[in-house]
Structure 1
């Protein structure tokens, strides 16, 4: 679990995060949504420890980040897995080498155990025959699955995803969404996803935090988002005619 208390972050005197408080629960897919410039990326990077807030606390499983010593912070980073927007695979490494990279960095296990773990996670993301291929030889969807395998190879307690469906076709995006949700539930991980994909919101948004101009403007589930009267949320979510129709159908079914 991650608890965020009154988080403030500025750059050159310009406030970007303005007192955000929320909770991200274990075993759930927690989504951060909002328009460009709302503070989503800064918020995610603050959770990763890449930015230091001026005010507020981030608490990981009961321990406040600002009170951790260097060893505790190093241990926390090893408990974090990250799926980057562009997958961020090493072009010169094979799929197997990409996935093994974090193990070689942080694990002292024998190579045979590392190989077993790599085989396990690649099998889990349904890439049993891709070990020796290079990123340029596989599709964008397969690259995302490699990125997920790499992110979970060290058995993290926290999984962060930055626009995991960026550049994917709708069918592949659904596959990636389902895979992330399955892994989150199977391994009881605290997963936080930064996204603008409204299909992801509707499909796997067990907890949604909506940011607007650096504030938390709303939070709830993908079921509750249909019922909200929050104007900022409805303007953002139902900007397309498709989602307006989906919401109307949901309201009619409930009545």
Structure 2
């Protein structure tokens, strides 16, 4: 579990995070949603240690990040996997070289051990006959699968995804959502996803944190969204065509 307590972050005179307190649960897909400028990206970067909060704490299973030594922070980083918005694959490397990169960089595994683990995760994300292909030879959905394989190759406790469905068609986006959810449950990972995709909210939103103007305005599950009378949430959520259709169907049933 990741626990966030009273986190504030400013850049100059602009206060971006205003006392965020929440938790991200292990074995569940935790989503951060909100409009542009709501603070969700700054919160994600704070969780990753890229930004240091001006106030408050972030704890990884009881370990407060700012209290850790440099060696302890480095050790914690080896427990983190990251799926970037644009996949961020190395163009000059093959799929298996991309996936194996964290193992070569951060472990002392032998080449044989690396190859075995790489083949396992490539198979797990259902990439077929892609080991020796370059990213340019892959579709957007396949590139995301490679990014996910690389993120989990070192058995992370924590998985962060920044707009994992960016640039994907709706059908492929659902496949990627479900893959992330399956891996989260299967390996009991604490997964945090920064997204604006309402389809993701409905597919895998087990815990949803909604930010508005740097404040945690609401949190709950995908089921709770339809029951809330929080105006900020309903204004945001029902601006989506998907949710308009769902609300219309619900009204007909009533």
**Any residues of structure 2 matched to 1:100-115 within 5 Å, and which?**
100-115=100-115
The residue aligned with 2:30 is 30
Hey, what's the Cα distance between the residues in 2 that align with 1:243 and 1:175?
20
The residue aligned with 2:201 is 201
The residue aligned with 2:47 is 47
The residue aligned with 1:14 is 14
Hey, what's the Cα distance between the residues in 1 that align with 2:96 and 2:236?
40
Q: How many residues align?
A: 254
Over residues 194-243 of structure 1, what are the superposed CA-to-partner deviations in whole Å (9 max), with x where a residue is unaligned? 00000000110000000000000000000000111100000000013441
Over residues 9-50 of structure 1, what are the superposed CA-to-partner deviations in whole Å (9 max), with x where a residue is unaligned? 000121000000001000000000000000011000000000
The residue aligned with 2:57 is 57
**3-state SS, counterpart of residue 159 of structure 1:** strand
Structure 2: give runs of 5+ residues left out of the alignment: none
Hey, what's the Cα distance between the residues in 2 that align with 1:197 and 1:250?
21
What is the deviation of 1:244?
A: 2.3
Hey, what's the Cα distance between the residues in 2 that align with 1:250 and 1:194?
28
Contact 1:226/1:250, CA 8 A, preserved across alignment = no
The residue aligned with 2:150 is 150
The residue aligned with 1:189 is 189
CA distance 1:97–1:213, change in 2 (3 Å): same
TM-score (norm: length of structure 2): 0.98
What is the deviation of 1:109?
A: 1.1
Hey, what's the Cα distance between the residues in 2 that align with 1:103 and 1:231?
46
**3-state SS, counterpart of residue 223 of structure 1:** helix
The residue aligned with 2:87 is 87
The residue aligned with 1:125 is 125
The residue aligned with 1:244 is 244
Runs of 4+ deviating beyond 4 Å: 250-253
Contact 1:119/1:128, CA 8 A, preserved across alignment = no
What is the deviation of 1:252?
A: 6.4
TM-score (norm: length of structure 1): 0.97
* RMSD of aligned alpha carbons: 1.1
Hey, what's the Cα distance between the residues in 1 that align with 2:73 and 2:43?
18
Hey, what's the Cα distance between the residues in 2 that align with 1:75 and 1:164?
25
Hey, what's the Cα distance between the residues in 2 that align with 1:165 and 1:90?
19
